[in-house]
Structure 1
Amino acid sequence: MMIALTGTPGTGKTSVAMELKKRGIPVTHVSDTTGPYTLGEDKERDTRIIDDERWALEFTPVEGIIEGHMAHYLQADRIVILRCRPDILKERLSGRGYSEEKIQENVESEILDVALAEAFDIHGKDILYEIDTTGMDIITCADKVEEIVRGNAEPEIGIVDWLIPYGDMI
């Protein structure tokens, strides 16, 4: 069974994935699978340009967690979308040394539910699980994801709406 762990950069995907790996759940990082699909580099955004459609089409499913902000493009058995309050997300991304433009783009993406909307468009709602990581420690978040992995949680989306309280950050 392949579980996609996705969300805007800074929501906790990698940290949660590393905790799940410690618990014996296999983890594959999207970034380790996209090399052959790199089309170039976006210097302005300090990121690689990936042929994500070809990557998703040719991806060989893995057992366990596939982690990354494009994981929801894949045909996974379950999709977990991590969310984070935009003001906290901004602090986290700033702490990583991201440019103001990159921070703003990711904050806007979170406010507008981009990862959730894309996952919904691709998969419908029946395999989507949304988790608000705001104020949640890594262990607690990993516990919630592990419940999903084990099949002990029901799909749930629509638990956060950042647009009204944080729309002025757009």
Structure 2
Amino acid sequence: MEEKSDCENCKTWEEEMYWKHFNSMHFYQILPKNFNDHLVLPEKFAAHMTTHVPDIVSLIGPSGTMWEVETQKTDNLLLVGDGWKNFVKTYELEENCLLMFKYKRNSRFEVLIFDQESFCEKESCYFVKKCRHTKSEHENHKKRSVREVQALR
């Protein structure tokens, strides 16, 4: 058996150090067609991290809002479920948007979002918040707002 050259040994060592010991790693995704229900993570990331990524991860968008998202491990590693669908809907993601992921070993993905035309960050993503009001609170607020406008007339 032929022994690896020093450079090949260094490369193997570097890759092992990165995937096994670094606390975070980055990758990006350009959103394909049919991304609304699930997102297939990069093959190289999945090959190294499938056993390390839990069944539920957190996605943290540019606004700091956190979404709990299911992962599914098949031949690939997928982000799936209502958490992913809500993330897509809230951030108004579209085909060909670019998402930059920073995976932290504490089961978190920090996500930056870039639009599909300019590949500049989507400014509006920094102002997204999860609404925690109930439907009845919204109705009360709407009624109060109408009364306040009528009182100003």
Smaller-chain TM-score range? under 0.3
Greater fraction of residues in helix = 1
Query: Which fold has the larger relative contact order, with Cα–Cα distance below 8 Å and residues 6 or more apart in sequence?
Result: 1
User: Could you tell me the TM-score, scaled by structure 1's length?
Assistant: 0.22
Q: Which has the higher strand share?
A: 2
Q: Using structure 2 for the length normalisation, give the TM-score.
A: 0.24
